[in-house]
Amino acid sequence: MTTTPSSSLTQDELKALVGQAALQYVVPGEIVGVGTGSTVNKFIEALASMKDRIRGAVSSSVASTERLKALGIPVFDANEVESLAVYIDGADEIDAQGHMVKGGGAALTREKIVAALAQRFVCIADESKLVDVLGSFPLPVEVIPMATEHVRRRFQALGGSATVRLRDGQPLVTDNGQHIVDVLGLRIRDPLMFESEVNQWPGVLTVGVFAHQKASVCLLGTAQGVKTLTF
């Protein structure tokens, strides 16, 4: 299914379009899982239009929580809910099976936790995020700081180039108090196996491959409008 806009849209307008399109997957009377990022920010703005028809949200980041609360949408702790009908979030890459790379916004661990609570993952993204093989986008990995160099060497042994993500010249600190290692040069042809393997490395909190918690649906913003992919 494709929703066609009336005229050519900018990338920002396409983000707003997929954010609006995601409202159809929100279940009235339920708590909705909400991700992180610029596309999700458009969804949060759209969600405000139906805030009186939902119980609230579970958020994957401090930034999204603040946005939701500012719009009068109640935010629940993940420990307060047993399950969610839907989780809506963006992706840095997504393949034809719904496997994703996420974590460009450094919220991958909390995103994966909320995704695991959801019966359905709806990915909202622009068409540049659709790839044949994951790995062109630097793979984010959240690590315990004392394991950073060990994890970097493990990726180098796989042919990757790993660097610590910086902010203002210092290692970025996530909402969980950890660091992010970004890895270039990988071709992730078996996302499920890769995710399972790297998650076992000592010091890795979360790898940014979402294969075990893959997308059920992707609302893809294209030059022709919103294209719906179902996996």
| Residues recognised as catalytic | 111
140: CB partners within 8 A, 6+ apart: 92, 101, 102, 103, 104, 106, 108, 165, 180, 181, 182, 208
Q: Which residue has the tokens 């919103």?
A: 226
Q: Which residue has the tokens 């004392």?
A: 146
Identify the DSSP state of 126. E
Q: Which two tokens stand for residue 62?
A: 């401090």
φ, ψ (nearest 5 deg) of residue 112: -70, -35
Q: Which residue has the tokens 């719904």?
A: 98
Residue 86 contacts residue 217 (beta carbons within 8 Å) = no
Annotated binding site for substrate: 36-39, 89-92, 102-105, 129
Amino acid in position 129: K
Residue 143 contacts residue 178 (beta carbons within 8 Å) = yes
Bridge partners, 57 (sequence order): 32, 75
Tell me whether strands 139-143 and 179-184 are parallel, antiparallel or unpaired: antiparallel
The distance of Cα 226 from the centroid of its chain, to the nearest Å, equals: 18
Amino acid in position 77: D
3-state SS assignment for residue 102: coil
